[in-house]
Amino acid sequence: MTLTAADVAEIMRVIEQSTFDELTLELDGVKLTLRRAGTPGGFVQNVTTPSDRLDSADADAGAARSGEAAAHPGARGTVPAAQTAAPAAQTAARARDSAPADANLSDITSPMLGTFYRAPKPGSAPFVEIGSVVDVDSVIAIIEVMKLMNTVRAGVRGVITEILPADEALVEFGDVLMRARRDI
């Protein structure tokens, strides 16, 4: 018995609806490790099946890059110091005004006003990093509104190229949270 891509997709659906954070499955020499978003690495990145090699290669590269970013949190120098110091309103306005330059880039906008969290809980790894591969249903962030945690899904299949708000920043409805290069 071998795993098809459809089987993997089905297993992913099952684990997503379950309370488990991780699943390891070994069948006929194929080792499949699924981790729920939030535990190190999004589960999309760790799927290794014969029929899915191309994607997984990209995903591995993404995981490597995100690991780098996590190891050097101070090195996230793409955010100018002035912007971090500026009032959130200005940051938000900037996020809205700057349209993606590349036609293959998609804005992932905030579906609500609230506090933006990149990770499921303090101290855990972010849902995604720059370079993470996401699918339409991938959870990319949490937005908290009056103690209610709302998951934000990518809504697009692709690679995260930019993460705009700082962790725990106030984001407004419609603010650009992230940009993703669409998987064509």
Partner 1 sequence: MAIRRILIANRGEIAARIIRTCRALDIESVLAVSVADRDSEPARQADRVVCIGPARATDSYLNAPAIVHAAAATGADAIHPGYGFLSERAVLPQLCAAAGIVFIGPTADQLAAIGDKLRARAEAEAAGIPVVPGGAANSPAEAEVLARKIAVPLLIKAVSGGGGRGLKLVERLKDLPAFLDLAAAEAGAAFGDARIYLERFIDRARHVEVQILGDGAGGVIQLGERDCSVQRRYQKLIEEAPAPGLSAALRNSLLQAAVRFAQRLSFRGAGTVEFIVDAQRGSFYFLEMNARIQVEHPVTEAVTGTDLIGEQIAIADGCGLRLQQAEVRIMGCAIECRVNAEDYRNGFKPSPGRVRDVTWPSAPGIRVDSHVVPGSSIPPFYDSLMGKIIASGPDRAAALARLRGAIAVTRIGGVKSNLGFHGAALDDPEFQTGGVDTGFVDRLYARRPDLSDLGETGAAHG
Among 89, 124, 149, 182, the residue binding partner 1 under the rule CB under 8 A is 89
One-letter identity of residue 128: V
How many residues sit in the footprint of partner 1 (CB under 8 A)?
16
Whole-number minimum distance, CB 111 to partner 1, in Å? 9
Q: Minimum distance from CB of 100 to partner 1 (Å)?
A: 19
The sign one gets for the Cα dihedral 36, 70, 68, 135 is positive
User: Which H or E run contains 134?
Assistant: strand 133-134
d(CA 56, CA 123): 27
Binding test (CB under 8 A) with partner 1, winner from 67, 172, 181, 183: 172
**Interaction mask 129-158, partner 1, x per CB under 8 A:** ---------------xxx-x----------
- Per the DSSP assignment, residues forming a β-bridge with 25 are 32
85: contact with partner 1 by CB under 8 A: no
Residue 107 exposed, middle or buried by CB count within 10 Å (0-12, 13-18, 19+): buried
Is 167 a binding residue for partner 1 by CB under 8 A? The answer is no
- Asked if residue 174 binds partner 1 (CB under 8 A), the reply is yes
Question: Rounded to an integer, what distance in angstroms lies between the CA atom of residue 147 and that of residue 39?
Answer: 22
Site for partner 1 in 56-75 (CB under 8 A): none
User: Hey, CA dihedral for 69, 70, 71, 77, is it positive or negative?
Assistant: positive
**86 binding partner 1? (CB under 8 A):** no
Summarize as ranges the residues that interact with partner 1 (CB under 8 A): 87, 89, 92, 112-115, 144-146, 148, 170, 172-175
